[in-house]
Structure 1
Amino acid sequence: MADVAKVEQVEQGAKRAADPRRPGGGEYLIADAAPADVFTPEDFTEEQRAIGDTAEGFVQDSIWPRAEEMEKQHFEVAVALMKQCGELGLLAIDVPEAFGGLELDKATSMLAAERIAPAGSFSVTWSAHTGIATLPLVYYGTEAQKAKYLTKLASGEWIGAYCLTEPGSGSDALGARTTAKLSADGTHYVLEGTKQFITNGSFADLFTVFAKVDGEHFTAFLVERGFPGVTVGAEEKKLGIKGSSTTQIILEGARVPVENVLGEIGKGHKIAFNVLNVGRFKLGAAVTGAAKHALGEGARYANLRKQFDTPIARFGAIRQKLAEGAASIFASESVVYRLAGLLDRRLAAIPRDAPGYYELYQKAIEDYAIECAISKVFCSEVLAGVVDEVVQIHGGYGFTQEYAAERFYRDERINRIFEGTNEINRLLVPGTLLRRAMKGEIPLQREVMKAVESLLSPSYEEVDAAVPFAVERAALGHLKKAFLVVAGAAVQRYRGGLKDEQEVLLALADVAIEIFALESALLRAEKGAALPERRRAVMAAAVKVFAFGAVERIGTAARKAAFCCAEGDELTMLLAGVRRFTKYDASGLLQAQRLLADAVLEGEKYPC
């Protein structure tokens, strides 16, 4: 009977994954999650930790000793190191076993990305290859295409690249001008056009290229470097990530066999956008790893550097920077692995032998497009903040190449542009949520009405501050109401035209993003109730420090949205609601900051 029940459970899970009406992404704004429902880094298995340790050891033993060579664009070093990655299995994590892969879960994939991130430029080479360059083939390739190419990509024999951006089309990917025309004998497509900012361009063996068949039907192609008509442009002269290759790929009468069409003619947009969801998620993990590494460098310097005969690590101004950085990274890490757990749970419910497995797989990931965008935006901006403060901690030396802080600063900047700019991803968050609400996929209007009713009713809530995280839990519930009442006012004011009111959407996005981050951090700390006392105390401090900043940022964004979508009495009511719903008793904030700073400085690393 148990086996039958298990089979039925799997079948129901597959139906849920395939059901477009089932709420997925964005439901955190209208429903409360329990600590037991989230995956956290504390849940890693020994096998997962071993893979993370392998990636970390590879960076320390093989990459850092040769980092300077790669920064000087000796790309043969990067190619050799990629082959070593292949030997260690670090290129095979997301590849099916049938084609030489390990086919592991998303949590493991994100852990590997996080641990490789301190490698700087090399992590960009690795991430592009294992993510957007390999996954299109995994998800959309035919068995023949996979047999021909995937084993080579998984082993490191070949390196991949992803060619979407063009000189005239970045965020507007569908505005691409590269064309594909079927040859007279029907055996090849002839591609004409130029692709811009292609990571791994100078040494990649296989390119996933997007072009319009007959100038109209957006389609993906698998293009080998050696195909006639394929030329690699010069290296871009970049601000940062100098050790990664970035070139144009020029297609002048490039002849691509018809069997190298990836997916369906005219369906290239599905490949481009669905794969970018994973790319955004993976970038969130990578920048989290980079932020941890940078924070450690800042702590080490603070312990060593003396001013006024005192280590600067003793100064409150420096300690505050380290504490706030650690708290933000705690939230960033919590976001990444919560999302990994959501995806893994949904994907595990799809039987491998289900018809159209990868179609169901992509639908499951697409359901969490909102959270993927949040991961990319929030985590990349956490890294930006941490790196900026690490430079500041170094003072004048942070502006010199003598210390790593200078490189951190230059390398960080691209992450807010990669995988769709942070502005595009911000617009995606409320835009996708509202579209799902209009389709009836998520009961947003019902929850807006409840929040408005709550706003108009007197509050008699009492919070027992002696209960761990009760104050934060109450604040989180109020913040969700703040989002709902302001989002409801925006919809009422602009209706269908809201999609064009980018300033309003950006403000709503900032509220939604901070709520997901705060809830993820809170759930993780609540789940850690059985951890050692010191670890629990550090987590609690991280939650308090992060919550204080998050509530302030949410209040600012919500007020901005209110001023943009209401006037007169309605505006007065909205602002009163924002004030009411964005209160947080941060008693003990200074003590929390100091405890967190102590933990960072004692270990000279991210402490959670």
Structure 2
Amino acid sequence: MATRPELVTDPPLPPGGGFLLVPAGSERIRTPEDLTEEQREFYKVADKFSRERVIASADRIEHKDYELLRALLREAGDLGLLSLDVPEAYGGLAQDETTSMLVTEAMARNGSWSVTFGAQVGIGTLPIVYFGTEAQKRRYLPRLATGELVSAYALSEPSSASDALGARTRAVRSPDGKKWILNGAKQWITNAGFADVFIVFAKVDGEQFSAFIVERGSPGFTVGPEEHKMGIRGSSTCPLVFEDAEIPYENLLGEVGKGHKIAFNILNIGRLKLGVGSVAGARNLIALAAQYAKERRAFGKTIAEFGLIREKLARMVALVYAGEAMTYRTTGLIDARIAASPAAKGTPAFDRDLIAAVEEYNVEASILKVWGSEALGYAADEAVQIHGGYGFVEEYAVERVYRDNRVNRIFEGTNEINRLLIPGTMLKRAMKGGLPLLDLAGTVDASLRSGELPALSKGPLARERRLAELDKWLMIHATRVAVESFGPELSEHQEVLGALADVAMETYAADSAVTRALQSAQGGRVDPVVEAAVRLHAVEAHERACDRARRAIRCAVPEPAAAAEQLALLRKLYSEEPVDLVGLREVVVSATLEAGRYPLGWAF
């Protein structure tokens, strides 16, 4: 294990969770620096629209001007921004996942708009794209792609949200066989106040979880009053009520009893987009915080000169760089797997391959969702702190961002649910032979006991590559201990799974950041600001990974002597090599303040 090859040339496409399998920086990943001119043009169009139309209308949006939101959706449709994921046969542009994610980034400048837009193009449209019949696609997709129709996704219920399969909404076939009769209620439905089309999940005969396309105005279907929310106040959120609601029989989406395939696969895409949007939101906050810090004076100097303020800004930049690296690494993997499909775009076979590609990387989707939403939460909190009292009043944009960002840790499956999915999915794949995690665990254990640890490589960011490798061993070691302690019962020990998920997230972030930086090197040299940001992030990510791995082992092994043995092995993986954190911080923050925004690689 300690002597794994340093270079992998044109490796086969890794499986989901495969970031644990190869040394950091040894295989090429998709990065923002690899974006094509066409992809950048899509971003420019979306960013211009976001700045000139959405941000300029922020106050009207905040006050629930739904006519404006519908008009903005139509404008976005006219620009092609609603049709990126729709096949050309139905009026779409059929772009790749990376392009779709770029537009999601651009729309993240306003929380309420971002949620409205995301519900339209993602969870509201994609179920029909991937699972609709030919007649359903022709009836709905062209008008969804232009914004003529607005869509919504109705999965959550008053008594079941994250527990989607516990839904109580019931569907039965009418006596004449021409309709479905729905009874039940849905809760927290985005766009519900003005949507025309709803993707609704219900159990046929109370047992078979299924999906339906429900149009506004269907007999027996009503939309309840608007919820008064802490944040994203400008978005519409309403309950839905079905009282013997009559739905045409042909509006069944997919197959009876296969609704979980629709719900969970669409949620995977939603998690990707939420993570992408969260990283973009954190990047936007850096500009707000940096500009304010340069202007605000205290004790005879700008607060940007104070060490604790500089530390906050530098850490925010380092997090965003890592977040971008994870984002486009993941979408690049999905695009590469889709590109290998022999099926033609827009065909059912292609759609199946696309869903399979997204499903393959559902671990990474959950990581992006949790890590991204929490990175945004951190950035929002620190940006408010930098603003001081002014950050707490509505006059400053950061106040609204702070309120709006909180829901991201609840959307698309709570962060707790996604934390359980990350190690849980990895272990299921390992048991089926799809991820050699357990074999790797035996190798790591033997290496730890013999004292053979990952060696320091040569070249730029050598120490950071080793830190990322140590993080992988931490994950593998802690997972082995947990599996040996609990076996199949591990799924019942959420505190252990949560800690393992945190180690996996820190590992993916550090590995992605190091790999991205190495790929950007010119003449063997990494840009000094990039290098400083990656070094800063790698050190702090390693410390967090060690802490959470320690937590997992302590929760998994209550017997003192056995726990002490495993913790002693874990301590071998903790690097205490001295690092000039203040010096690294100064390199990053100086560039940030000079630019007045995030300074690394996003200037198109």
Question: Shorter-chain TM-score: what band?
Answer: over 0.9
Q: What is the aligned partner in structure 1 of residue 207 from structure 2? A: 216
Is the 2:468–2:538 Cα contact (8 Å) retained in structure 1?
A: no
In the TM superposition, residue 458 of structure 1 has moved relative to its aligned partner by 2.5
Is the 2:232–2:403 Cα contact (8 Å) retained in structure 1?
A: yes
- Structure 2 counterpart of 1:375, from 368, 378, 402: 368
Q: What is the aligned partner in structure 1 of residue 69 from structure 2? A: 78
Taking the aligned partners of 2:85 and 2:576, their CA distance within structure 1 comes to 42
Taking the aligned partners of 2:40 and 2:418, their CA distance within structure 1 comes to 31
Q: What is the aligned partner in structure 2 of residue 180 from structure 1? A: 171
- Structure 2 counterpart of 1:469, from 451, 461, 464: 461
- Structure 2 counterpart of 1:55, from 36, 46, 53: 46
Instruction: Provide closer, same or farther for how the CA distance between residues 310 and 254 of structure 1 changes in structure 2, counting only shifts above 3 A.
Output: same
**Counterpart of 2:400 in structure 1: which amino acid?**
R
In the TM superposition, residue 437 of structure 1 has moved relative to its aligned partner by 1.0
1:436-467: CA deviations, max 9, x gaps?
Answer: 11112111221000000011012476636x73
User: Is the counterpart of residue 498 in structure 1 residue 498 in structure 2?
Assistant: no
Matched pairs, number: 587
Q: What is the aligned partner in structure 2 of residue 443 from structure 1? A: 436
Q: What is the aligned partner in structure 2 of residue 412 from structure 1? A: 405
Taking the aligned partners of 1:460 and 1:376, their CA distance within structure 2 comes to 32
- Which stretch has the larger CA shift, 35-44 or 331-340? 35-44
Taking the aligned partners of 1:163 and 1:258, their CA distance within structure 2 comes to 18
Taking the aligned partners of 1:370 and 1:298, their CA distance within structure 2 comes to 32
Q: In structure 1, the residue corresponding to 2:563 is in which secondary structure?
A: helix
Taking the aligned partners of 1:75 and 1:481, their CA distance within structure 2 comes to 51
- Structure 2 counterpart of 1:536, from 518, 527, 532: 527
1:347-396: CA deviations, max 9, x gaps?
Answer: 11112248733223212211111000000000111000001000000011
- Structure 2 counterpart of 1:328, from 319, 329, 334: 319
Taking the aligned partners of 2:524 and 2:76, their CA distance within structure 1 comes to 35
In the TM superposition, residue 115 of structure 1 has moved relative to its aligned partner by 1.0
User: Is the counterpart of residue 28 in structure 1 residue 46 in structure 2?
Assistant: no
- Structure 1 counterpart of 2:88, from 97, 100, 103: 97
In the TM superposition, residue 410 of structure 1 has moved relative to its aligned partner by 0.4
Q: What is the aligned partner in structure 1 of residue 513 from structure 2? A: 521
- Structure 2 counterpart of 1:486, from 478, 502, 512: 478
- Structure 1 counterpart of 2:300, from 306, 309, 317: 309
Q: What is the aligned partner in structure 2 of residue 596 from structure 1? A: 588
Q: What is the aligned partner in structure 1 of residue 349 from structure 2? A: 356
Taking the aligned partners of 1:586 and 1:242, their CA distance within structure 2 comes to 47
Q: What is the aligned partner in structure 1 of residue 422 from structure 2? A: 429
**Counterpart of 2:463 in structure 1: which amino acid?**
V
In the TM superposition, residue 160 of structure 1 has moved relative to its aligned partner by 0.5
- Structure 2 counterpart of 1:571, from 543, 563, 570: 563
Q: In structure 1, the residue corresponding to 2:241 is in which secondary structure?
A: strand
Taking the aligned partners of 1:307 and 1:360, their CA distance within structure 2 comes to 58
- Structure 1 counterpart of 2:572, from 564, 574, 580: 580
Taking the aligned partners of 2:550 and 2:574, their CA distance within structure 1 comes to 10
What is the TM-score with the length of structure 1 in the denominator?
0.94
1:277-313: CA deviations, max 9, x gaps?
Answer: 0000000111111111111100010010000121111
User: Is the counterpart of residue 268 in structure 1 residue 266 in structure 2?
Assistant: no
1:490-534: CA deviations, max 9, x gaps?
Answer: 11110010011101101111101110011011110010012897x
User: Is the counterpart of residue 401 in structure 1 residue 388 in structure 2?
Assistant: no
Q: What is the aligned partner in structure 1 of residue 8 from structure 2? A: none
Taking the aligned partners of 1:54 and 1:398, their CA distance within structure 2 comes to 30
1:472-501: CA deviations, max 9, x gaps?
Answer: 111221221121111111111100100111
Is the 1:548–1:584 Cα contact (8 Å) retained in structure 2?
A: no
In the TM superposition, residue 99 of structure 1 has moved relative to its aligned partner by 0.5
Taking the aligned partners of 2:53 and 2:350, their CA distance within structure 1 comes to 38
Instruction: Provide closer, same or farther for how the CA distance between residues 589 and 314 of structure 1 changes in structure 2, counting only shifts above 3 A.
Output: same
Which contiguous aligned blocks of 4+ residues in structure 1 show a shift greater than 4 angstroms?
A: 33-36
In the TM superposition, residue 575 of structure 1 has moved relative to its aligned partner by 1.1
Q: What is the aligned partner in structure 2 of residue 138 from structure 1? A: 129
Taking the aligned partners of 1:65 and 1:506, their CA distance within structure 2 comes to 41
Q: What is the aligned partner in structure 1 of residue 156 from structure 2? A: 165
Unaligned runs of 5+ in 2: 1-10
Is the 1:134–1:153 Cα contact (8 Å) retained in structure 2?
A: yes
In the TM superposition, residue 577 of structure 1 has moved relative to its aligned partner by 2.1
Taking the aligned partners of 1:519 and 1:532, their CA distance within structure 2 comes to 19
Q: What is the aligned partner in structure 2 of residue 556 from structure 1? A: 547
Identity fraction in percent: 48
Instruction: Provide closer, same or farther for how the CA distance between residues 33 and 481 of structure 1 changes in structure 2, counting only shifts above 3 A.
Output: closer
**Counterpart of 1:350 in structure 2: which amino acid?**
S
User: Is the counterpart of residue 43 in structure 1 residue 34 in structure 2?
Assistant: yes
Q: In structure 1, the residue corresponding to 2:257 is in which secondary structure?
A: coil
Taking the aligned partners of 1:274 and 1:431, their CA distance within structure 2 comes to 17
Taking the aligned partners of 1:260 and 1:584, their CA distance within structure 2 comes to 61
Q: What is the aligned partner in structure 1 of residue 6 from structure 2? A: none
In the TM superposition, residue 569 of structure 1 has moved relative to its aligned partner by 3.7
Instruction: Provide closer, same or farther for how the CA distance between residues 89 and 321 of structure 1 changes in structure 2, counting only shifts above 3 A.
Output: same
Q: What is the aligned partner in structure 2 of residue 259 from structure 1? A: 250
**Counterpart of 1:45 in structure 2: which amino acid?**
T
Is the 2:55–2:109 Cα contact (8 Å) retained in structure 1?
A: no
User: Is the counterpart of residue 68 in structure 1 residue 62 in structure 2?
Assistant: no
**Counterpart of 1:577 in structure 2: which amino acid?**
L
Q: In structure 2, the residue corresponding to 1:104 is in which secondary structure?
A: coil
Taking the aligned partners of 2:519 and 2:336, their CA distance within structure 1 comes to 18
Taking the aligned partners of 2:452 and 2:175, their CA distance within structure 1 comes to 74
Q: In structure 1, the residue corresponding to 2:521 is in which secondary structure?
A: helix
In the TM superposition, residue 545 of structure 1 has moved relative to its aligned partner by 1.2
Is the 2:25–2:465 Cα contact (8 Å) retained in structure 1?
A: no
- Which stretch has the larger CA shift, 226-235 or 174-183? 226-235
- Which stretch has the larger CA shift, 204-213 or 223-232? 223-232
Q: What is the aligned partner in structure 2 of residue 5 from structure 1? A: none
Taking the aligned partners of 1:525 and 1:31, their CA distance within structure 2 comes to 17
In the TM superposition, residue 403 of structure 1 has moved relative to its aligned partner by 0.7
Taking the aligned partners of 2:232 and 2:392, their CA distance within structure 1 comes to 17
Q: In structure 1, the residue corresponding to 2:40 is in which secondary structure?
A: helix
Is the 1:70–1:243 Cα contact (8 Å) retained in structure 2?
A: yes
Q: What is the aligned partner in structure 2 of residue 391 from structure 1? A: 384
In the TM superposition, residue 333 of structure 1 has moved relative to its aligned partner by 1.1
User: Is the counterpart of residue 453 in structure 1 residue 446 in structure 2?
Assistant: yes
Instruction: Provide closer, same or farther for how the CA distance between residues 160 and 228 of structure 1 changes in structure 2, counting only shifts above 3 A.
Output: same
**Counterpart of 1:450 in structure 2: which amino acid?**
T
Unaligned runs of 5+ in 1: 1-12, 17-21
1:415-449: CA deviations, max 9, x gaps?
Answer: 00000000000000000011111112111221000
Taking the aligned partners of 1:130 and 1:246, their CA distance within structure 2 comes to 17
Taking the aligned partners of 1:565 and 1:60, their CA distance within structure 2 comes to 50
- Which stretch has the larger CA shift, 266-275 or 285-294? 285-294
User: Is the counterpart of residue 281 in structure 1 residue 305 in structure 2?
Assistant: no
User: Is the counterpart of residue 108 in structure 1 residue 99 in structure 2?
Assistant: yes
**Counterpart of 1:538 in structure 2: which amino acid?**
V
In the TM superposition, residue 86 of structure 1 has moved relative to its aligned partner by 0.1
In the TM superposition, residue 321 of structure 1 has moved relative to its aligned partner by 0.4
